[in-house]
Structure 1
Amino acid sequence: MKKLLLFMAFCCHALLPAQDYFLKNYQPYNPEIPSPETYLGYVIGEMHTRHDLIVSYLEKLAEVSDRASISYYGKTHEGRKLVMLTVTTPDKLEKLEELRQQHLKLTQPENQEAIPENMPVFINLAYNVHGNEPSSSEAALLAAYTLVASEHPAIARYRDQAVIFLDPTINPDGRDRHTQWANSFRSNPLVADPQDAEHNEMWPAGRTNHYWFDLNRDWLLGINPESRGKLNWYHHWYPNVVTDFHEMGTQSTYFFEPMKANGSLDPIMPKENYEDLNNLFGDYFAAALDSIGSLYFTKEVFDGTYPGYGSSYPDLQGGLGLLFEQASSRGHKQTTAYGEITFPFTIRNQYVSSLTTVKAAVENKEYLKDYQRRFFRSALKNADDSRIRGYKFNATNDQNRVKAFIDKLLLHRIKVYESADSGYVVPTKQPQYRMVQTMFETYDKYRDSVYYDASAWSVANFYNMNYQPVSSLKLGNEISSAETVVNVKIVERSDYAYILDWDDYNTPAALYYLQKEGLVLASAFKPFTVRSDNGSKKFNYGALVLPVQLQKKDSGQVHELVKKAQEKFQVPVHAVSTGLNLNGVDLGSRFIKPLKEPKAAMLVGNGVRSYEAGEVWHLLDTRVHMPITKIPMRNLGRADLSKYESLVMVSGNYHLTDAEKDKIVSWVKQGNTLITIGSASEYIIDKKWVDEKLTKVEKDSLAIPERLPYVDADEHLGKESVGGVILKASLDTTHPLGFGYRDQVIPVYKNNEVWLAPSKNEYATVAKYTANPHIDGFITKKNMENYLKPSASIITSPLGSGRVVLFADNPNFRGSWYGTNKLFLNALFLGEYIEIPN
């Protein structure tokens, strides 16, 4: 019987490692502190652990040990807790605020005090930003237990010389989506076949958060509560080292930094960071992984050029961001070319890398602290060496867009001031100089042409700010909160009409609010100048007119609703007492057209690009407060489209049946609006739903390519992809899609190879790339000359009594393109009036 038990134990270890598989190197452990296995009731790796259990285990550690405390830095869209476990010695926990203040002096260039010898190094172990890359959160449980409970001399030393912040799950909503899937389809015995359902999540899978955003692209953009909470935490602490744990394809091995060479010709982060520090830490990771027999690679792929990753943002804050990529079991066990990869195996690599990070940081803590101090001091020196003293910006007719941009600057602790003459100014000489560069500088020369992500991120262009560098400063008051930027005067009561300026970013939200309250508003299709309660005022295309006496509510009720909308959305509203205008059309003109409350739907599901669908959903949910029906592709055949006036098709790999195609086309022909983005626009042109063309170049007209080495094929082919570039487009501001814009040239974002030929109808090309369109980012000369310059960014096309709005470029990219959101919202709110003259 004893031999049988030993045999069973061996088999269990072979299939499912016991606790010693992970923890044996750091014995002994305090028996009064429960291990993850004891607390959860299963061995780590046997199941995927729900986020609430992860949180409750860390809370238990903080409860039973004086070496740990827990804090909460926010909640997700779905209400899950975002937590941070702090581990150090009890005496340091008691004086944590004192240590923080001491540490923050490293980020203050003017501080001349010597760095205290006993000051700990601050380490942030951060896990699971992509929800379906689950091994790292399991490793976080093991790391937390080890750091709190181990009595091993090495761990005791780490606690003594470091403050360790453990963030177990950056993306709890996505993680739980994947956890539910993996546990639901787990078999007994485990199924390693890659075709099994366990290893193949349904759309949209667990990578992204609630609104299907990739949170590992959101550090710079700060759109979601997970990122905003983490950024506020980050700038409260400025850790010296930050980990960023991921998973990659099952057939791979393990990656740690150093990365591929930075793509920028003149990167703004110090070379010391991505060469010296990464190589220093890389030696530690290699030794640790060698000791357990794990294969790995470095330098071949991934780059830290984009500043919005969890592994690159810390590099711009004087810290060291570290990327790890583990081949994924995508479930509990899966077959690979090397045999079977198990969930426990993937967890162990992440666990070992976690503790090795702490070891390397502790053993090099004086270097890390000195580096952080030099980093911020060099920021001021670099600013002094530049002829640019600041960046002045504004968007005169849209203060809510300015407010959103200033909020983004302040989120990154960039100092912003009112300009003494007009607008706002950001001085370059400040500790966050490198973030100032990130927000405003553009580039057109690159060392490498193949990017893991975007090659353009000048955020001022995302917001369509009118900005310029200045060589001298005229500073007014410092802006401490974006809430002070917009101050609207509450509108007086009118018995005749109210006018809302469509130029303002928030006006579509105010419009929908008033429509839901039963009011009817109209849009001006020609400009006019009124005599209002605030004096003479010129209104642009799209201005909203709310005639009081034509409503079903009395004038007092209308006024109360208008005031509520104004207070809620901080939009400018003007009361008028006459329909006779000083210039332009009068308020009763046929060019003032009543608007219907929009009813919109969007196709989602298999084949649809979830990122773009999530961006539409997020925009309407969080900023316009307008519902959109998400119709799964599997339900399209039986869906009742007559309930909607607008249907959105974002990029995707569509395979519609003839019946589904006929259903959509017939619905559009009845007078409705189909809005397509990116490859969806390409799809409907290819399928001849509309009489439009794509920009084509005959292969015979291209030069015969030179002979190149086979080994370089991936690099040469990869650079033809448009990973992300900011371009200038000429916009027809008299077209309903261009309402709310004053400038006829606007920045747009392109991250695809969708090339729309300008429409044959001279009135239907709404936006076309300019003759010299480049603003920021890498694009090959071939793509620029042969495809981009001849092409359009937006066209409209008739289809029966309806119309199709075709976007080549995504106007809602990553929830951050405030400058082009209005183009998309115009399609929803004004689509019924888009006519294509013959």
Structure 2
Amino acid sequence: MKTLFLFFKLSFFCVVSLFSIAICAAPQVDTIFDSSVTFDPTITEPESFLGHRLGDQMARNDRMIAYFQELAAQSERVKYEVIAYSNERRPIVTLTITSVDNHKNLAQLQAQHMSLQQGATPELIDMPVVSWINFGVHGGEVSSNDSALPIAYHLAAAQGKEIDKLLDNSVILLTASMNPDGNSRESAWNLKYSSQVSVSDPNHALHGSPWPSGRTNHYWFDLNRQWMLQQQPEPVGWVNKFHQWRPNIVADFHEMRSYKSFYFHPGAPDRVHPIINKQAMTLLSDVVQGPRDFLDSEARAYFNEEAYDNFYLGKGATYPHLYGSLGILFEQASSAGLLSTPRGILSFRDNIRTYYHVGLALLNNAVDKKTELLSFQQQFFSQAKEQAKGDKVKAYVFTAPEDPARLFHFLQLLERNKITVKPLQKDLKTNGTQFFANKAYIVETAQASYPMVKGLFSKVTEFENNTFYDVSGWTMPLAFGLQYEPLTRRNYKVGDPIKVTFPRQSDVPMAKVAYAFEWSNYYAPKVLYKLLSQGYRPRIANNEFQANTDKGLHTFQRGSVVVSTGWQGGSNNTELHQLMNDAATKEGIPVFTLNSANTQSTGMDLGSNNIEPVSLPKVLLVVGSGMSQYQAGEVWHLLDQRMSMPVVLLEKWRLNSVKLSDYTHLVMADGTYSDMTAELTDKVTTWVKSGGTFVGIGDGAKWAGETLLDLNTVSMKPGNGSAQPRINYSSKAHLEAQDIVGGAIMAGDLDITHPLGYGYSRREIASHRSGLLAFEPPKNPYATIVKIAKQPLLTGFTSAENQQQLAGNAMLVGQRLGQGSVIVFTDDPNFRGYFYGTEKLFMNSLFFSKLFSNPRPLAAE
């Protein structure tokens, strides 16, 4: 595709046909770079390397990476480093760019910079500022990726006093592309629909990439929501790099809707998380003066301090604020190629040029504000220390004794966010909850990462502004399903800080009669699937029972898995033993051996009919146009990456033709259901009645609940009053926000005796809610698996009226339909890959969907 390079300051003539194809006679400006800048001729220009002009087409990710390698080979200013690999094994590259002299002392400069956070007071005037510019976290935001190329070239090849000042006084980290898998999908689409003649009609295929969009990574996660969560390999790599340097500024380059102008931080002042240092926003405004001046010089429209926020702590422009860095978001209107918009024709090439100049202006401005930035970071950690001293909460204690693997993943999250954890060494009881020594942990607030400790552990339910760009609540112990309490006194005993390791169990002795393990273990579904797929016949205990085991007398809870060594169809017991040993040593599951079918339970020996068989699930996940790539990706990632279970991804339009009887489970998440014809509905209904299980999440739950189960969704009623009051229009946005559940965490009452509640030891459960969908309690009194609590809000924003109307209704419903089952979740049990506390509910819907029954009909009188 050839695009026409347009400057807003240049005059040009466009003729737009009836089909909105723009034919523009415009002066052709061949360079993105200012003519006043001279470049080292021995350094290869990006256009010479790529073989096309920047902006004529998207640069392929592999060519971008190869170009960065070329720059590092040619310029002593540039160091090339792979900081991570994507799910598709593409490298994520960071260039470290500074003067040759700084490179010679880089390790010393890094140590000196990091010493600011330990209270050191070096001569700030002699220290370089550390600036990190990152590109392409959303792979479909095309100018964000490609503008990294001219910036990297400029930093490597520009000559003169200005570049010398910049490189002598700063260490620059440049990362691109942060999402190479999504970027590769987008560039393939771009090249597929490239053409010799530029087409600006927004209906042209080039201007809208297919499902899944390049915005997301391989598993369709939005990586710009993963800085704090780090549930994907890409953010694990970047955040680790961030903590190696703790840069003074972190600039995050994006694109937004084409009808908008240009945005950069600071955002809305009343939508900043309370833990963020107030001085940060003032200093941030000073640091972006360079980009502001450039845009003003070209009479380009932009806006600050509205629309976007700094509330959710897991975004690239917010996360750095928790560690004394300034996160800065840049958003410019997307062009994709050449696009006609209400503000005029946008050019991909011009967008690249804009970000090139904005990026350099920011880096130079950071040098001008070097002393202020370094002083701020130095003071930040001193202030955080003082804040911790004044905090009435001195520590948080937490545990999950029933599931060491889930606890491990929480500890791993803390470690990745540089939070110090200590083991509890003496039993502690607080607020009615008992925490046992060596099974619970303490996070003290008096530590260098105090702001992030508060960000992860605090519950926030009151806000200055109830409008949110992203979720409003994410308290991590709730998401992980942990028992936890804040401690206001230092009445606990702890050991030395821990190093997080996976809780591998000891070898399992050979069993004479059976092996057994608890379903509460996070990776129990993975082991159960492996047993079933290899032809073994595990069974599920529907009641608790006691048995003598190799570890002594043990009480097995409902949902425990029992695998007999006999009656396995001739399967090799040595191989079964190896599977059970792997479950203990690799998956962290305590496996027990039983040498008698006789147990200590009255009427519950191993041959009991209350220990039922389960079948191998064959899961069909509906994806494609009309479905939420985020929720579908969460399911795919959970089953594929964590549970090693195959899942068939079926595009929605193929539902009409696929043979459903080849599958046991059909999973449908958020999406559009208006195209579910009567014929297709009948097909799904017949399949369920014949023995299939439908699992719906969000809109999928709504469709199935209303269509397959005849459930009523809760009607959210407006406020009291017979007459509608007159309201000023200026209040519209604020008042409408009251009707939105801004990604809050809600409390529920879980029936732990129901098969869909197996693996849980407490009835209280927290789930992520992003809407007002709920079901009225079904007529079947056993079908409400999770009932929304009377006072449901745990953290985040939901209006008091909405809380009242949601209370007492159903979040999770499971009901039989013929020989099959329908299981519907109004909340997302797999949200963003970090809601470990509710993922078990989803896994139960796959393995235990036939272990329950509808109530018997009453006998006629």
TM-score class, shorter: over 0.9
Residue 518, structure 1, aligned to residue 535, structure 2: yes
What aligned pairs does 1:593-608 form with structure 2 within 5 A after superposition? 593-608=612-627
1:272 alignment counterpart: 279
1:479 Cα deviation after fit: 4.5
Aligned to 1:457: 474
Residues 1:754 and 2:760 aligned together: no
Query: 2:472–2:796: 8 Å Cα contact kept in structure 1?
Result: yes
The answer to whether the 8 Å contact 2:94/2:174 transfers is: yes
Secondary structure in 1 matching 2:638: helix
Deviations 1:564-617 (A, max 9, x none): 232221111000011211125221111101111111111111111110000000
Question: Which of 654, 665, 672 matches 1:646?
Answer: 665
Indicate how the Cα distance of structure 1 residues 416 and 262 shifts in structure 2: closer, same or farther if over 3 A, else same. Answer: farther
- After TM superposition, list the pairs within 5 Å mapping 1:179-328 onto structure 2: 179-263=187-271, 267-274=274-281, 276-328=282-334
Taking the aligned partners of 1:698 and 1:753, their CA distance within structure 2 comes to 11
1:713 counterpart letter in structure 2: K
Partners of 1:398 and 1:432 in 2: CA distance: 27
CA distance in 2, matches of 1:769, 1:818: 19
Hey, what's the Cα distance between the residues in 2 that align with 1:373 and 1:405?
30
Choose from 88, 99, 113 the match for 2:98: 88
Is contact 1:728–1:748 with CA below 8 Å preserved after alignment?
A: yes
Cα deviation, 1:186-208, whole Å, max 9, x if unaligned, reads 22211100011111221111110
Structure 2 Cα separation of the partners of residues 184 and 15 of structure 1: 26
Q: Conserved in 1, the CA contact under 8 Å of 2:78 and 2:95?
A: yes
Task: State the match for 1:664 in structure 2.
Answer: 684
Residues 690-699 or 218-227, more deviating: 690-699
Q: 1:684 aligns with which of 690, 704, 728?
A: 704
What is the CA distance between 1:244 and its match in structure 2? 0.8
Q: Any conservation in 2 of the 1:728–1:745 contact (CA below 8 Å)?
A: yes
Equivalence for 1:494: 511
CA deviation profile, 1:364-407 (whole Å, cap 9, x unmatched): 01111111111111111111001211111001111111101000
Residue 462 of structure 2 aligns with an amino acid whose one-letter code is: K
Q: Does 1:814 align with 2:832?
A: yes
Quote how far apart the aligned CAs of 1:164 are. 0.5
Structure 1 stretch 307-316 or stretch 676-685: which is displaced more? Answer: 676-685
The match for 1:505 is: 522
Give, in whole Å, the separation in 2 of the partners of 1:507 and 1:836.
27
Aligned to 2:655, the other structure's residue is in SS state: helix
1:107 maps to 2:117: yes
Task: State which of 496, 501, 512 in structure 2 corresponds to 1:478.
Answer: 496
Kept in 2, the 8 Å contact 1:318–1:376? The answer is: yes
SS at match of 2:501: helix
Q: Measure how far apart 1:18 and its partner are.
A: 4.4
Partner of 1:582: 600
**Cα offset, 1:14, TM superposition:** 6.5
> Which ranges of structure 1 fall in alignment gaps of 5 or more residues?
1-9
Q: How does 1:341-740 map to 2 (within 5 A)?
A: 341-421=346-426, 422=437, 423-470=440-487, 471-472=489-490, 474-483=492-501, 486-551=503-568, 552-583=570-601, 585-654=604-673, 655-686=675-706, 688-697=707-716, 704-740=723-759
Aligned equivalents of 2:836, 2:807: Cα separation in 1:
24
Once residues 94 and 17 of structure 1 are traced to their aligned partners in structure 2, the CA distance between those partners, rounded to angstroms, is: 43
Amino acid at match of 1:645: T
User: What is the RMSD of the two structures over their aligned residues, measured on CA atoms?
Assistant: 1.7
Q: Structure 1 residues 271 and 90 mapped into 2: Cα distance closer, same or farther (>3 Å)?
A: same
TM-score (norm 1): 0.95
Percent identity, please.
Answer: 34
The 1:26/1:311 distance shift into structure 2, 3 A limit, reads farther
SS of the equivalent of 1:209 reads coil
What letter matches 1:498 in structure 2?
Y
1:420/1:170 CA distance change after superposition, 3 Å:
same
One-letter amino acid matched to 1:137: N
SS of the aligned residue for 1:499 comes to strand
3-state secondary structure, aligned to 1:596: coil
Give the aligned partner of residue 772 of structure 1: 791
Higher helix share: 1
Equivalences, count: 820
Contact 2:423/2:498 (<8 A) preserved: no
Q: Is the 8 A contact 2:705 2:824 kept in 1?
A: no
Q: Secondary structure at the match of 1:212?
A: coil
Contact 1:692-1:797 within 8 A present in 2 as well: no
- Which residue is 1:789 aligned to? 807
Alpha-carbon displacement from aligned partner over 1:145-180 (angstroms, at most 9, x marks no partner): 111111132222101100001102111100111111
Given the alignment, which residue of 125, 129, 132 partners 1:117? 125
Looking at structure 2, the residues matched to 607 and 477 of structure 1 have their Cα atoms a distance apart, in angstroms, of 52
**Deviation sequence 1:660-718 (CA, Å, 0-9, x none):** 211111110101110001111112334x3212111125569665443222133233223
Q: In structure 2, do the counterparts of structure 1 residues 473 and 25 end up closer, same or farther at CA, with 3 Å as the change threshold?
A: farther
User: Could you list the per-position Cα deviations for residues 402-459 of structure 1 after superposition, in whole angstroms to 9, with x for gaps in the alignment?
Assistant: 1010000000010001011221101110000011101110011110001000000111
CA deviation after TM superposition for structure 1 residue 17, in Å: 5.3
CA positional deviation for 1:30: 0.6
Q: Verify the 8 A CA contact 2:128 2:370 in the aligned structure 1.
A: yes
Per-residue deviation, 1:790? 3.4
| Cα drift, residue 474 of structure 1 | 3.4
Distance in 2 between residues matched to 1:705 and 1:377, nearest whole Å: 53
Aligned partner (choices 115, 122, 134) of residue 142 of structure 2: 134
Q: Distance in 2 between matches of 1:139 and 1:701?
A: 53
Equivalence for 2:3:
none
**Equivalents in 2 of 1:475, 1:35: separation in Å?**
61
Alpha carbons of 1:704 and 1:403: their partners in 2 closer, same or farther (altered >3 Å)? farther
1:83 and 1:168 in contact (8 A); partners too: yes
Q: Distance between the aligned counterparts of 1:49 and 1:697, measured in 2? A: 49
> Per the alignment, do residues 236 and 637 of structure 1 end up closer, same or farther by CA in structure 2, a change over 3 Å counting?
same
Alignment-derived partner of residue 3 in structure 1 = none
Measured against aligned partners, the alpha-carbon deviations of 1:448-507 in whole angstroms (never above 9, x if no partner) come to 0010000001111110110111221534333443215x2412211112000011111111
SS at match of 1:782: helix
Q: Distance in 1 between matches of 2:664 and 2:647?
A: 11
- Cα 1:26/1:122, change in 2 over 3 Å: farther
> Secondary structure in 2 aligned to 1:483?
coil
Runs of 5+ unmatched residues, structure 2: 1-11, 14-22, 427-436, 857-861
Partners in 1 of 2:548 and 2:29 — Cα distance? 80
Contact residue 124 and residue 375 of structure 2 kept, 8 A: no
Alpha carbons 1:685, 1:693 under 8 Å: kept: yes
Q: SS of the residue aligned with 1:188?
A: coil
Paired with 1:82 and 1:792, the residues of 2 have a C-alpha distance of: 44
Asked if 1 retains the 8 angstrom alpha-carbon contact of 2:288 and 2:365, the reply is no
1:803 and 1:382 map into 2 onto residues whose CA distance is: 53
Instruction: Give the Cα separation in 2 of the matches to 1:398 and 1:172.
Output: 35
Amino acid at match of 1:269: I
Distance 1:187-1:704 versus aligned 2 partners, 3 A rule: farther
Cα deviation per residue 1:518-552 (whole Å; 9 max; x = unaligned)? 22101111111111010011111100000001112
Is contact 2:661–2:692 with CA below 8 Å preserved after alignment?
no
Q: Using a 3 Å threshold, how does the CA distance of structure 1 residues 500 and 230 change in structure 2: closer, same or farther? A: same
Structure 2: distance between partners of 1:140 and 1:527: 59
